[in-house]
Structure 1
Amino acid sequence: MKPIGKVLCAAGLLAGLLAFFWREPFNPESLVGARVLLTGASAGIGEQMAYHYARFGAEMVLTARREAVLQKVMEKCLTLGAKKVFLIPADMSSPSEPQKVVQFAVQKLGGLDYLVLNHIGANRFQMWAGDVEFTRWLMQVNFFSYVALATAALPTLEKNNGSLVVVSSVAGKIATPFTTSYSATKFALDGFFSSLRHELIMQGKNVSVTLCILGLVDTDTAMESVRGKVHLTASPAPEAALAIILGGATRLQEVFYPWWLQQVFYLWVLAPSNQVLQSYYNYSSP
């Protein structure tokens, strides 16, 4: 790396560390009675977020495809301290579902303080094989439904000075092999919601947009996708879920989890992508 690149890289690393340690302190009381619509709540990170919100005393509407599994999550949330919990099964591959889900949540909770977009379509961790129809389906689930949910919820979020929390991936910041369609949906999320954040600020609307960039997390779906293909240390889902919640509650613009992913991103911006990918794999290996 050239001298100027090293200086810029050091400055980027310092800025990341300052942002991490000097961020707004979290007040647990802010989530007591907070009205939350959480998608993808039946398993993985979404399930763990539901349990954390319950412990903080939030009111929730949970949605995912599998009603029976959602029912179990809802019951556990009530034992953990959630004020209210409702569920609505929905398949986000259907364009009509987002509007229905938001209307249900507003009706049941009387409005929304948080919209947490977390659901995800199945990822094929493999080389591009030309399946355009799968890419179109995945874009509907991972991107267009996010846009539709956010659009439907913005009026109530604006009224309540609420927060949009968007769960994304490092694959939406750094192009990686085996993730062509998945990565496309995540880059789309970054572009849309980062632009939306600017527009909300320009219009003087007090709605925060938090984009959460995650590395490999030890959910069943993620581990099944990468088994035998990459050897990375996965982060625990409960910790990832809590990082997302804290980032949304403190109205951060971006949350990187694990935290060092932010430094990997800075390196990727400044150095050839193959070198950065190699450092990522080396850094993450056991």
Structure 2
Amino acid sequence: MKAFTKLVFVAVAAAFVAFQWRGPTLDPESLKGARVLVTGASTGIGEQIAYQLAGFGAQVVITARREKVLQQVVEKCQGLGAQKALYLAADMGNPSDPERVVKFAVDKLGGLDYLVLNHIGPSPFAMWDGDVEHTRWLMQVNFLSYVQMAKTALPVLEQSKGSIVVVSSLLGKMCSPFAAPYSSTKFALQGFFGTLQHELAMQNSNVSITICVLGLIDTDAAMEKVKGLTNIQASPANEAALHIITSGASRQTESYYPWSCYYISLIRDWFPSYRDYFIRNFYQYEH
């Protein structure tokens, strides 16, 4: 009982600190004319990132699988004030496409200042059914393609003193039900890009890496997946997008949205039995 009381006290104190702390601020002028490649930008968070960047007057290349939807997003970006807005349809499940997309962006923009890695492949929000091939494919889309794009972009970003922004998840730091393949890819992202941060710093590299750890976001795809399975409150996609842009522009090593995710991550190993009990009670499951 004392441990439970302590946990509640820590949670309340963390919430108070989160309310008081305002986080980094964004200078909109710093993004005017910035050359940015955004992946997974046909819908959801990636689409909102593209619109935010367009409003700041950035030069944007977006990519996803659906060409017609990308055309519509580009048209809206142009209307919002993007200095340049282009797209390239690509499938990150194809090992040759990640490099092709980066080279296209560098060629069309004359360089690159930001690489925003946001795309994910579709994966069921359900008990794992033993499908190893799906997990293998999802690793290519959600993880290996990120590594491929980072490798291709690093020399260009080194020249521009640019940034890689990796959109990750709280499920890459803490396990929960119904997301085994997805969570495994996000843990891989945390491990690889966290290590790369150290190595670039040791080499005095000009390139910064920002890992953005997100909670549940109210995209159509996410809301459809979790419908009837969890009572976790979702956060707005447009606010998440602005947070991601701000974090990358201020060259943070790691950021959290909403801020409660930071404190959940911070105390995840303090009381493992209570942690697992609370996690399972956020989800509904019938045998």
Structure 1-normalised TM-score?
0.91
Number of aligned residues: 279
Following superposition, the deviation at residue 275 of structure 1 comes to 2.6
The question of whether the paired residues in 2 share the 8 Å contact of 1:123 and 1:225 is answered with no
> For the structure 1 residues 203 and 10, does the alpha-carbon distance in structure 2 shift closer, same or farther, using more than 3 Å as the test?
farther
Is 2:60 the counterpart of 1:60?
yes
Match of 1:246 in 2: 246
The question of whether the paired residues in 2 share the 8 Å contact of 1:268 and 1:276 is answered with no
Is 2:70 the counterpart of 1:70?
yes
Where structure 1 has 5 or more consecutive residues not aligned to the other structure, the ranges are none
**For 1:273 and 1:167, how far apart are their aligned partners in 2?**
29
**For 1:129 and 1:44, how far apart are their aligned partners in 2?**
27
Which amino acid is 2:94 matched to?
A: S
Following superposition, the deviation at residue 269 of structure 1 comes to 2.4
**For 2:280 and 2:256, how far apart are their aligned partners in 1?**
14
Following superposition, the deviation at residue 129 of structure 1 comes to 1.2
Match of 2:231 in 1: 231
Where structure 2 has 5 or more consecutive residues not aligned to the other structure, the ranges are 283-287
Which amino acid is 1:163 matched to?
A: S
Match of 1:97 in 2: 97
The question of whether the paired residues in 1 share the 8 Å contact of 2:114 and 2:163 is answered with yes
CA distances 1:222-278 after superposition (whole Å, capped 9, x unpaired):
011111111121111101111111111111111111111111111212121543661
SS in 1 for 2:124: coil
Within 5 Å, give how 1:265-284 maps onto structure 2.
Answer: 265-272=265-272, 274-275=274-275, 278=278
The question of whether the paired residues in 1 share the 8 Å contact of 2:49 and 2:245 is answered with yes
**For 1:280 and 1:45, how far apart are their aligned partners in 2?**
26
The question of whether the paired residues in 2 share the 8 Å contact of 1:267 and 1:276 is answered with no
Match of 1:25 in 2: 25
Which amino acid is 1:238 matched to?
A: N
Match of 1:133 in 2: 133
The question of whether the paired residues in 2 share the 8 Å contact of 1:264 and 1:280 is answered with no
The question of whether the paired residues in 1 share the 8 Å contact of 2:158 and 2:206 is answered with yes
SS in 1 for 2:268: helix
> For the structure 1 residues 166 and 133, does the alpha-carbon distance in structure 2 shift closer, same or farther, using more than 3 Å as the test?
same
CA distances 1:135-173 after superposition (whole Å, capped 9, x unpaired):
000000000000000110000101111010000111001
**For 1:232 and 1:10, how far apart are their aligned partners in 2?**
20
The question of whether the paired residues in 2 share the 8 Å contact of 1:264 and 1:276 is answered with no
Which amino acid is 2:35 matched to?
A: R
Match of 1:35 in 2: 35
The question of whether the paired residues in 1 share the 8 Å contact of 2:38 and 2:62 is answered with yes
SS in 2 for 1:122: coil
CA RMSD, Structure 1 to Structure 2 (Å):
2.5
Match of 1:201 in 2: 201
Match of 2:285 in 1: none
Following superposition, the deviation at residue 106 of structure 1 comes to 0.4
SS in 1 for 2:88: strand
**For 1:247 and 1:169, how far apart are their aligned partners in 2?**
15
